[in-house]
């Protein structure tokens, strides 16, 4: 009986050991399963991989990325036109030409030069509020003289490759042009000198600034003087500094002057157009508050005085007294 009890005790111990082993295996499997699940969750957790990038989209709009290769910038061209200047063109600034018909209608032009070939002619009928470009023809290389009347506009143009001085007239606001009579465009300052009544004459000063040809007399504006003559007589020199433009009104000239102490701008003055002597003086009429260092052109039609100073055109309806 003692041996039976020993056998039963050994059998019980074996069963307990087996159960314990099975339990250990089960626990180990559970632990492994938990670890595997944790690892799987960790790999899909956004906090461990950073914020996901949005899905790319595509557009036909070009990118403005600064790293993109820029398009090449065109280099300046020497071809004339559109403000360009031909190679070898003169650097002398173009003169302003201004001719008024009345207080509403006028013509203006940039004289240009043959080498630049960039002529501009414009027409206004609303006192300079708007300007309409006028075609001159493909053969016109420069514009040296211009005179407007109620009948039409006459110009002295430089025509063709030789820049031959040619006078033309239009009676339909520049739509068509025909040959003009000599002197119809008035006085003209050309690269070769002065033209009066269509005839070349020696200039009374090296670099004339402006000129006007009347029926019986002519006047040329120089740097420190104005030069006057009756018919084809000798020039009379009148000491008068600062004149930059001249117009006519019956028996008197209207002058645009700069550098006058009493006018901070462009002074409008008058002087006699007949019987001029070296002692002839100018009388101040008004002062236009404008840039006195700019290119200046002036014309007059009755009591209406027009000025073109730099880029601005102004009209006085009282002879230049007020602006």
Q: Which pLDDT tens digit goes with each residue over 219-228? A: 999 999 999 9
* Mean pLDDT over each residue of the chain, to the nearest integer: 78
* Predicted local confidence at residue 119, as pLDDT: 85
pTM of the model: 0.71
User: How far, in Å, CA of 260 to CA of 282, rounded?
Assistant: 12
Q: Is 208 helix (H, G, I), strand (E, B) or coil?
A: coil
User: How far, in Å, CA of 66 to CA of 134, rounded?
Assistant: 45
Domain boundaries, the chain: 84-201, 203-323
User: How far, in Å, CA of 114 to CA of 143, rounded?
Assistant: 9
Residue 5, both tokens: 């009890």
**pLDDT above 90 covers what percent of the chain?**
63
Of 126, 121, 153, which Cα lies nearest the Cα of 140? 121
Beta strands 164-170; 178-179: pairing state: antiparallel
Q: Which pLDDT tens digit goes with each residue over 140-154? A: 999 999 999 999 999
CA distances from 176 to 130, 132, 153, 168 (A): 22, 15, 11, 10
Which CATH number applies to 203-323? 2.130.10.10
Radius of gyration of the chain (CA): 46
Return the higher-pLDDT residue of 5 and 176: 176
């Amino acid at each position: 009986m003692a041996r039976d009890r020993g056998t039963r005790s050994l059998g019980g111990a074996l069963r307990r050991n087996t159960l314990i082993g099975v339990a250990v295996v089960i626990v180990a499997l559970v632990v492994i399963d938990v670890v595997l699940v944790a690892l799987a969750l960790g790999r899909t957790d956004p906090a461990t991989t950073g914020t996901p990038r949005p899905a790319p989209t595509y557009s036909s709009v070009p990118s403005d990325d600064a790293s993109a290769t820029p398009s090449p910038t065109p280099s300046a061209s020497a071809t004339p036109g559109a403000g360009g200047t031909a190679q070898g063109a003169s650097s002398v600034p173009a003169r302003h030409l201004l001719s008024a018909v009345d207080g509403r209608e006028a013509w203006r032009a940039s004289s240009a030069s043959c080498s630049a070939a960039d002529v501009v002619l414009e027409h206004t009928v609303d006192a300079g509020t708007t300007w309409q470009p006028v075609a001159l023809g493909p053969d016109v290389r420069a514009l040296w003289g211009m005179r407007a009347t109620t009948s039409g506009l006459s110009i002295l143009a430089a025509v063709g490759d030789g820049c031959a001085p040619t006078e033309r007239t239009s009676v339909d606001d520049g739509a068509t042009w025909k040959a003009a009579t000599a002197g119809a465009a008035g006085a003209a300052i050309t690269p070769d000198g002065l033209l009066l009544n269509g005839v070349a004459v020696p200039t009374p000063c090296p670099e004339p600034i402006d000129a006007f040809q009347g029926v019986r007399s002519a006047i040329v504006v120089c740097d420190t003087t104005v030069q006057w003559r009756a018919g084809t007589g000798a020039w009379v020199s009148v000491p008068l500094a600062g004149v930059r433009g001249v117009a006519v009104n019956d028996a008197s000239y209207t002058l645009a002057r700069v550098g006058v102490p009493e006018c901070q701008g462009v002074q409008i003055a008058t002087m006699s157009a007949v019987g001029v002597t070296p002692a002839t003086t100018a009388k101040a009429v008004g002062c236009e508050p404008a840039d006195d260092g700019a290119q200046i052109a002036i014309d007059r039609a009755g009591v209406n005085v027009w000025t073109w100073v730099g880029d601005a055109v102004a009209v006085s309806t009282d002879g230049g007294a007020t602006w």
